[in-house]
């Protein structure tokens, strides 16, 4: 009697076996999902660390290059090759470092550095009215940051920390347009300031023609020097790279 009862209690029905297999599969799936979730979180954290590292690297590079280019532009602006009689000078490419920075780092950062340069130009400046200061200095020199609109795409720029390589990414025609547009905007600010605040110097001439001719004369020379040097640097980099590859 007791033997029969023990045999009956140790037997396993098909339903119990299937239920156990189902539980085992559920546990295996749960472990797989947990592992996949852990891997996904690890990849997300790794990507986040890489992005933070890239942002920090770019910030350090921007501050360093921005400071160097700002200092170079200011020093070059103090070397006057020719002084215009009513203000304005021809310098040894004082705009070049600013436009170089703009083409390497893009417009937003370039506007910031160009704005700082405009404040430095107030040292020893000639002021007759707050609006004249705004036109002749703040807006005129900040406009040089417009060259950054012609920089290579952000993704391409971030792929390298070499500023010269970033310049080489910009085609010659874009470099020329960057220089021409930024210098044209600077000239427009000077022309407007001349018409409004220095019209007496025009004498019997048309004030607009006089202001355009006067300001355009020295800015055109500066633009030509800057353009030639930037294109020459970019071409030289291309020749150097081809020489290394052969």
Domain count for the chain, please give it. 1
For residue 71, tell me if it sits in a domain.
yes
Look up residue 223 and give its two tokens.
Answer: 């633009």
CB atoms within 10 A of CB 242: 9
What is the extent of the structural domain holding 221?
A: 43-245
Cα dist from 62 to 32, 59, 102, whole Å:
45, 5, 11
For residue 35, tell me if it sits in a domain.
no
203-235 per-position pLDDT tens digit: 899 999 999 999 999 999 999 999 999 999 999
128-175 per-position pLDDT tens digit: 999 999 999 999 999 999 999 999 999 899 888 888 899 999 999 999
Closest to 194 (Cα-Cα) out of 235, 124, 140 = 140
Residue 159: burial class (beta carbons within 10 Å; 0-12, 13-18, 19+) = middle
Look up residue 161 and give its two tokens.
Answer: 């920390």
Q: Which residue has the tokens 């081809």?
A: 242
Taking the alpha carbons at both ends of the chain, their separation in whole angstroms is: 97
For residue 19, tell me if it sits in a domain.
no
For residue 12, tell me if it sits in a domain.
no
For residue 6, tell me if it sits in a domain.
no
User: Can you name the residues that pair with 89 across neighbouring β-strands?
Assistant: 83
For residue 135, tell me if it sits in a domain.
yes
Q: How confident is the model at residue 2 (pLDDT cuts 50, 70, 90)?
A: very low
Closest to 225 (Cα-Cα) out of 94, 71, 133, 119 = 94
In this prediction, residue 46 carries a pLDDT of 72
| pTM over the 0.75 mark | yes
For residue 23, tell me if it sits in a domain.
no
Q: Which residue has the tokens 């404040």?
A: 119
Q: What is the CA radius of gyration of the chain?
A: 33
For the CA atoms of 46, 47, 52, 56, the dihedral, rounded to the nearest 10 degrees, stands at 100
For residue 10, tell me if it sits in a domain.
no
Q: Find the CATH number of the domain harbouring 68.
A: 1.10.1760.20
Q: How confident is the model at residue 55 (pLDDT cuts 50, 70, 90)?
A: confident
């Amino acid at each position: 009697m007791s033997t029969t009862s023990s045999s009956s209690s140790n037997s396993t029905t098909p339903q119990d076996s299937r239920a156990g297999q189902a539980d085992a599969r559920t546990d295996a799936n749960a472990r797989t999902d947990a592992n996949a979730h852990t891997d996904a979180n690890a990849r997300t954290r790794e990507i986040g660390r890489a992005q933070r590292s890239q942002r920090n690297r770019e910030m350090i590079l921007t501050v360093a290059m921005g400071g160097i280019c700002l200092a170079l532009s200011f020093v070059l602006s103090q070397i006057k090759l020719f002084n215009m009689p009513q203000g304005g000078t021809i310098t040894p490419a004082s705009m070049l470092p600013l436009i170089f920075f703009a083409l390497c780092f893009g417009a937003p950062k370039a506007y910031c550095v160009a704005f700082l340069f405009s404040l430095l130009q107030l040292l020893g400046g000639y002021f007759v009215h707050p609006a004249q200061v705004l036109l002749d200095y703040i807006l005129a020199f900040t406009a040089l940051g417009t060259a950054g609109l012609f920089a290579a795409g952000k993704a391409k720029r971030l792929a390298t920390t070499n500023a010269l390589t970033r310049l080489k990414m910009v085609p010659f025609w874009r470099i020329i347009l960057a220089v021409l547009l930024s210098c044209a905007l600077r000239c427009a600010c000077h022309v407007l300031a001349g018409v409004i605040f220095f019209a007496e110097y025009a004498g019997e001439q048309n004030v607009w023609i006089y202001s355009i001719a006067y300001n355009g004369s020295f800015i055109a020379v500066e633009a030509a020097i800057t353009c030639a040097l930037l294109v020459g640097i970019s071409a030289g980099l291309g020749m150097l790279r081809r020489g290394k590859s052969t």
